[in-house]
Structure 1
Amino acid sequence: MTTNERRVLVHPDKQALAASVAARFLTKAADIIAEHGSAHVVLTGGTIGIGSLAAVNESPSRDTVDWSKVHFWWGDERFVPKADGDRNELQARQALLDHIDVPAENIHAFAASDEVASLDEGVAAYTAELARHSPDGGQWPRFDITFLGVGPDGHIASLFPNLPGIRVTDVPVISVQNSPKPPPLRLSLTRPVINSSERVWLVLAGADKASALGLALAGASYFEVPAAGAKGRRRTAFFVDQDAAAEVPEDLIAESY
């Protein structure tokens, strides 16, 4: 697979998908740390995103990674209280982060609604946190792997079809006040930050994702199908189950990554 190619890796079911993503992540994280000394990873929520983190935790290879050298970020977050079960952060902690030896300062969560007074404060806080870990005075870190889920409507992070957020290019973080998927209030990275990542791994499962995946791979407008605009600097891979792959052209299905 050559640089910037987009390929689809198909798995027989959700369990095999999560296990495969976990295995690849552990291998790649160790390689990145060996090369750069640290790794910056952007996490996603959703059933299969959190399932993949749980599979990392269950892997016998889990502790081959020096987690003290991994920084975890999020592509988006629901603006709800810290202990709310809807938070991607809470789900990720329960699935993986609370079970590994990662320093608290390496976990970069979006502010919760009971930690800041407004969405705007949440935007400012995460913008500052990104800049704090950016090399050479940039706006955000060098991201090594960005995980993305894909909604049935083709949305990624909290960038939804035909809403203003997908068009924003001049700031790294936005607020979302009218998410078509509840809860309505959210914080999200913007497309330039997502696409600055060396590798973008889109992970999706289920027949309800097949149409969005097919449109994304067919070159649909990313304003209408945001997943079509997600592209890593080096690699863009779609990890999917058989049901989600129903509309994927044969020539895009990879035998290996």
Structure 2
Amino acid sequence: MAERQLVVYRDGDTIAQAGAQRTLLAILDTLSAQPQAERFDLALTGGSDSLKALSYMASNPLTQVIDWSRVHIWWGDERFVAADDEDRNALQARRRFLDALVSDGRLPAANIHEMPADTRSPKQAAADAAASDAGDDTANDALLDAAAQQYEQELVAELGEQPVFDLLILGMGPDGHYASLFPGHTEVNITDRLVVGVNHSPKMPPLRLSLTAPLLARSRRTWFFTAGAAKADAIAQVFAKPDNPSYPSSFAAGTEEFIWFTTADAVAKVL
């Protein structure tokens, strides 16, 4: 595994700008240096810093010189809601950046690999939620597991039995969670799946899908975009002890590069 690096910027906006530039350069350099390579696989998650970076990518001149037909987009986690729900990470990414690439004919729509959305009627979703609130998670758990298996199958079909991303971009919550792997939940300890359903998420919405910790740790490059004093306690704990279920982000890694892009107030208890 790569040694963890720490890059401290002035503020979150600088992280987003630098992150956008670095991401585009990583794609461009990899595809240019390895013309025999068929593709570049980029995995995204939600979060304000990551979404802001996508907005900066949209206006960056480097976007115009990348062969997007060789780029595939994946998600590290997703809110299990309807495809047009504002909570969808993929919807936000499409609006900020990806849809423009598709409409311009640069990025094939098939290269965007969204996690499954919730296709239930509002009435059925409400009924299943009511059952869950009453202690019966059978319907929601089955639905999440089926969706997780569907995304697993897509990963394996595209990237093989042991999928590896070229670049994984993550954020971290003040509680130390990453993707949708939360402290106090068992999903961070699952090692025999690529994708898991997450029920009763402590952050709304309560139903989610997430890549598992072993898959997330296999990325060639892993970058965290994490800013703000609210993250300071969690970052200190993450840096103090690896693979700590109380702070799931401590499970993250990268095989060739592992960088935390952050701000001084976020790492005040580390430096």
- Deviation string 1:121-172 (CA, Å, 9 cap, x unpaired) is 211210110011124xx143x3100111100010010011131100000010
**How far did 1:220 drift?**
5.0
Q: Report the Cα distance in structure 2 between the residues aligned to 1:236 and 1:58, rounded to whole angstroms.
A: 26
**How far did 1:115 drift?**
7.0
Quote the residue 1:254 is aligned against: none
**How far did 1:62 drift?**
1.6
Q: Which has the larger helix fraction?
A: 2
Matched, 1:134 2:159: yes
Counterpart of 1:114, as a letter, is T
**How far did 1:242 drift?**
2.9
Q: Report the Cα distance in structure 1 between the residues aligned to 2:165 and 2:225, rounded to whole angstroms.
A: 17
Of 181, 188, 202, the residue aligned with 2:210 is 188
Matched, 1:84 2:85: yes
**How far did 1:64 drift?**
2.1
Quote the residue 1:122 is aligned against: 147
Q: Report the Cα distance in structure 1 between the residues aligned to 2:169 and 2:120, rounded to whole angstroms.
A: 25
Identity of matched residues, % = 41
Matched, 1:111 2:112: no
Quote the residue 2:265 is aligned against: 243
Q: Report the Cα distance in structure 2 between the residues aligned to 1:221 and 1:124, rounded to whole angstroms.
A: 25
Quote the residue 1:253 is aligned against: none
Q: Report the Cα distance in structure 2 between the residues aligned to 1:246 and 1:48, rounded to whole angstroms.
A: 19
In structure 2, the residue corresponding to 1:238 is in which secondary structure? strand
The alignment yields a C-alpha RMSD, in angstroms, of 1.6
Q: Report the Cα distance in structure 2 between the residues aligned to 1:172 and 1:30, rounded to whole angstroms.
A: 28
Quote the residue 2:71 is aligned against: 70
Q: Rate the CA distance shift 1:103–1:227 in 2: closer, same or farther, 3 A.
A: same
In structure 1, the residue corresponding to 2:52 is in which secondary structure? helix
Q: Report the Cα distance in structure 1 between the residues aligned to 2:64 and 2:240, rounded to whole angstroms.
A: 39
Size of the aligned set, in residue pairs, is 244
Counterpart of 1:184, as a letter, is P
Moved more, 112-121 or 156-165: 112-121
Q: TM-score, with normalisation over the residues of structure 1? A: 0.91
Matched, 1:167 2:189: yes
CA contact (8 A) 1:32 1:38 kept: no
- Deviation string 1:66-115 (CA, Å, 9 cap, x unpaired) is 11110000000001000000000000101110122211110000111017
Q: Report the Cα distance in structure 2 between the residues aligned to 1:123 and 1:28, rounded to whole angstroms.
A: 29
Q: TM-score, with normalisation over the residues of structure 2? A: 0.86
- Deviation string 1:18-58 (CA, Å, 9 cap, x unpaired) is 01011111111112223223100100101111011111112
Matched, 1:222 2:220: no
Higher alpha-carbon Rg:
2
